[in-house]
Amino acid sequence: MDMNKKKDFIVNILFYGIILGAFFIAFRYLLPILVPFIIAFLIAWAMQKPCKFLYKRFKINKKLSGLILLIVFYLVIGGLIVLISLGLISFVSEIIRDLPAIFENEIRPFLDNLGMDITSIVHQLPPEIEAGLLTIMHSLDSALDNLISVISTWALNFATSMVTVVPSFFISTVLCIISSFFFVVDYDKVTSFAYSKLKGRIKTIFDDLCFFMKNKVVVIIKSYAMIMSITFVELTIGFFIIGLDGFIWIALGIAIFDILPVFGTGGIMIPWCVITLIGGDIVTGVELGVIYVIVTIIRNIIEPKIVGGNLGLHPVLTLASMLVGAQFFGVIGLFGCPLLISFLLYANKAHGGLRL
């Protein structure tokens, strides 16, 4: 490699390093601020094809059709949010109402019987072992009290944080809605102005990114739809085998919830297992735990393979990029980091190497 090639290589590495650094700063610090406007623009972008269809079919003005579609969109979304919120409030209220009865009829008898069984066993042991076990039991009792205190403190802090988050979320939602109307009305002007400001290599990268995202976003959606379908089939078979009533609907709800990266299947299955075991149904609790373990193992195996295969990445690289992305950027990084690596490989291939 001659000196000019070495210089070009170093310059290219620095160039792409600066781009990655800019991405990092944008995702880490600017993105949380710009999220309402990004969502608003994406909504306006999604309205463009329906607007064009209405214009060609019914000769409705593009701006007017965009406003109509946007109003209908927010009415539908708002209605769904209201229905879901009412359902959740009703569900939580029912749990809170029945919680004292559950504690008195299920949890307290279970704990009392367990304590009596342990005590009877301990009293049959030699005195020195009995004294040691009683000390351990007292320590566990104190630890349980401390745990309840910690949970109470956490619940209070969570409620306090929700009080501060709700106004911020409300303001962001209002900004998103207002901005989406502006973007829909002036979509062509905004996109033309922004595109005209791109020059040289940045313009090429933007064109590559638009082409790449237009194809790969659909691929990502299909990938996670496939993963969700596999999870649904696994849960349906498992719940059918253990004889749960309404197993199809339960499996469908958990499979949809499984798409959430932070909560996943465990967000429902783990509390369900614990509550079932405390209620005294040991067999069903163990069966639910086994189903959860199987589903989680299969999910961790197939997700990198399916997503990586559709993005053109090796499963190990996909898994590593997802973990790194989740560590630094949370949910966005979990999905965005594999996409970014796939785009860099695509751009490198499309232009025959890293060139300026």
pLDDT tens profile 114-146: 667 666 766 666 666 666 666 776 676 666 666
Q: In degrees to the nearest 10, what's the CA dihedral of 267, 282, 292, 244?
A: -90
Residue 167: band (very low, low, confident or very high) from pLDDT cuts 50, 70, 90:
confident
- The DSSP letter of residue 199 is -
Say how far apart CA 267 and CA 261 lie, in whole Å: 10
- The two three-digit tokens of residue 80, written as one number: 């769904």
* Per-residue confidence (pLDDT) for residue 304, from 0 to 100: 79
Say how far apart CA 141 and CA 154 lie, in whole Å: 20
Chain segment 75-91, per-residue pLDDT in tens? 998 888 888 777 767 76
Burial of 209 per CB tally in 10 Å (0-12, 13-18, 19+): middle
Mean pLDDT of 322-340: 74
Nearest to 285 by CA among 273, 270, 303, 302: 273
When comparing pLDDT for 206 and 253, which is higher? 253
- Locate the domains of the chain by residue range: 35-197, 200-356
Say how far apart CA 63 and CA 55 lie, in whole Å: 10
| Helix/strand/coil percentages in the chain, nearest 5 | 90, 0, 10
Handedness of CA 84, 86, 91, 92 (dihedral sign): positive
Say how far apart CA 338 and CA 328 lie, in whole Å: 13
Nearest to 74 by CA among 149, 144, 216, 178: 178
- The DSSP letter of residue 246 is T
Number of C-beta neighbours around residue 342 at 10 A: 23
Helix axes 31-46, 187-196, angle to 10 degrees: 120
* Per-residue confidence (pLDDT) for residue 158, from 0 to 100: 59
Nearest to 315 by CA among 327, 302, 299: 302
Chain segment 24-71, per-residue pLDDT in tens? 776 667 777 788 888 888 888 888 888 888 878 877 777 788 888 889
Q: What's the mean per-residue pLDDT of the chain?
A: 75
Number of C-beta neighbours around residue 227 at 10 A: 19
Number of C-beta neighbours around residue 338 at 10 A: 26
Answer yes or no: are the C-beta atoms of 322 and 338 closer than 8 Å: yes
* Per-residue confidence (pLDDT) for residue 355, from 0 to 100: 45
- The two three-digit tokens of residue 177, written as one number: 């809605």
Say how far apart CA 228 and CA 261 lie, in whole Å: 12
Using only C-alpha atoms, the chain has a radius of gyration, in whole angstroms, of 28
pLDDT surpasses 80 at 354: no
* Per-residue confidence (pLDDT) for residue 42, from 0 to 100: 84
Mean pLDDT of 248-258: 81
Chain segment 179-225, per-residue pLDDT in tens? 888 888 888 888 887 777 777 666 777 777 777 777 777 777 788 88
pLDDT surpasses 70 at 95: no
* Per-residue confidence (pLDDT) for residue 319, from 0 to 100: 77
Which residue spans within 6-97 are E strands per DSSP?
none
Collect all residues with Cβ–Cβ distance below 8 Å to 258 and sequence separation of at least 6. Answer: 227, 228, 231, 264, 265, 295, 299
